Amino acid sequence: MEKQIVTQHTAIYCNENRWSLLRAGVEKLNPTKIFILVDTNTFKYSLELFLKHAVIKTPIETIIMPSGEKNKTIHTCIDIWNTLTKKGADRSSLLINLGGGVVTDVGGFVASTFKRGIEFINVPTSLLAMVDAAIGGKNGVDLGTLKNQVGVVNNPSMVVVDPVFLNTLPKQEITSGFAEMLKHALIDSQDYWEQLQGFDVKNLKSTQNLIWSSIEIKNNIVLQDPNELGARKVLNFGHTLGHAIESYCLESKTRPTLVHGQAIAIGIVLAIYISSNLVGFDKNKLAEITSFILTNFKRQAFNRQDIESISTLLIHDKKSKAGAVLFVLLEDFGLAHINREVPKPLIIEAFKYYKDFKIN
């Protein structure tokens, strides 16, 4: 596979020439100044590796933001905008976002709005960012604990994907990105699902090929519907309840915070169960998918009050319209139904299925 996509909106590189293509892209942009946004983790574990591979001759100034979803806020953006201003950034400056989904989301939003927009490049360092967050042009921040409520759709000049950064990640972060890959398989094809059964991040060649498959699946959907008016909504499969669960755990004083992929994995099981009831998703496939997910993602416990609170948060989902919560459901692998209303009793029933399912 060539492992590169070049469109009028952006270029995505995941091949052996990625770093020389990055240098050529930076030279073509000819920025007055280059800034690199990292969080405290990627500053420690990834910045030196990036500088070693990138070999960009122009001096690069580093901006460090605090790590974690709780810092994906407008306040963090204000700090970065102020830093850019103090360091003399102008409309011909370039911002390189080196990090996971929080860094690429925040950095893309900062660049898209600073002086009404400067060029930016995403260099994702987490599996989640490589297959999802850094691709597709969605940038933004959370509003309190409500996910991605403020943002813009604007593509980076370039996305450079190198699995070498995955060596810096704890297992939990690998698992988080894997959940998005499983979602891509469910909305695309059973063949890709079966390929993912043997996923092993230590096998660099296989991992790169699977990452590229996910990138192609997402990019093909985004190209059909950049502004999420229809077809792109399928990428939200598992995210309606998944985001609500993530937000609920983030604001809870007693529950542990879940990384994005953990919450999405739960959302996928719930959405597949609801799909089997409303649009006929095969129950044998439902059981196989549930078993695989619960084998790879630790099961979480939710009581009735938890479920009530999570259901209340659904109204804030970006797909909601006129007070109705709209789900993406699957009739089969690659066969999606968008804008489907789901009765609350069925949501409660789905949580019970998740709780009681027995792994063979």
Residue 246 annotated in active site: no
Based on the residue annotation, tell me whether 243 is a catalytic residue of this protein. Answer: yes
Sign of CA dihedral 148, 160, 13, 120: positive
Q: Which of 28, 52, 86, 116 is catalytic?
A: 116
**18 catalytically annotated:** no
Strand 119-124 vs strand 158-160: parallel, antiparallel, or unpaired? parallel
Options 218, 219, 233, 246, the catalytic residue: 218
For 167, the token pair is 């060596």
Q: At what angle do helices 260-278 and 171-188 cross, to 10 degrees?
A: 30
- Which position among 119, 183, 236, 246 bears the catalytic label? 236
69 among known catalytic residues: no
Out of 138, 147, 184, 233, which one is annotated catalytic? 138
Q: Are 118 and 91 in contact (CB under 8 A)?
A: yes
236 given a catalytic annotation: yes
- Looking at 180, 183, 233, 246, which residue is catalytic? 180
Question: Which one is catalytic: 147, 232, 233, 246?
Answer: 232
- Annotated active-site residue 220? The verdict is no
Is 228 in the active site? yes
Q: Which residues have CB under 8 Å from 344's CB, separation 6+?
A: 311
- Helices vs. strands in the chain: H and E counts, helices first: 14, 11
* Tokens describing residue 127: 């599996």
Contact 302, 310 (CB under 8 A): yes
Tokens of 41: 């983790």
Q: Name 252's Cβ contacts closer than 8 Å, sequence gap at least 6.
A: none
Active site residue 341: no
The gap between the terminal CA atoms of the chain, to the nearest Å, is 37
> 69, 173, 216, 228: which is the annotated catalytic residue?
228
DSSP-assigned beta bridge partners for residue 63: 37
Measured distance CA(293)–CA(342) in Å, rounded? 23
Q: Which of 82, 83, 121, 84 has the alpha carbon at shortest distance from 103?
A: 121
Cβ contacts of 107 within 8 Å, gap of 6 or more: 37, 80, 95, 97, 99, 120, 122, 139
Does residue 12 sit in helix, strand or coil? strand
260 is catalytic: yes
Q: For residue 313, what is the enclosing H or E element?
A: helix 304-313
To 5 degrees, how large is the angle CA 253–CA 258–CA 263?
A: 125
Q: Around Cβ 235, how many Cβ atoms within 10 Å?
A: 23
Which of the residues are catalytic?
Answer: 116, 138, 180, 218, 228, 232, 236, 239, 243, 260
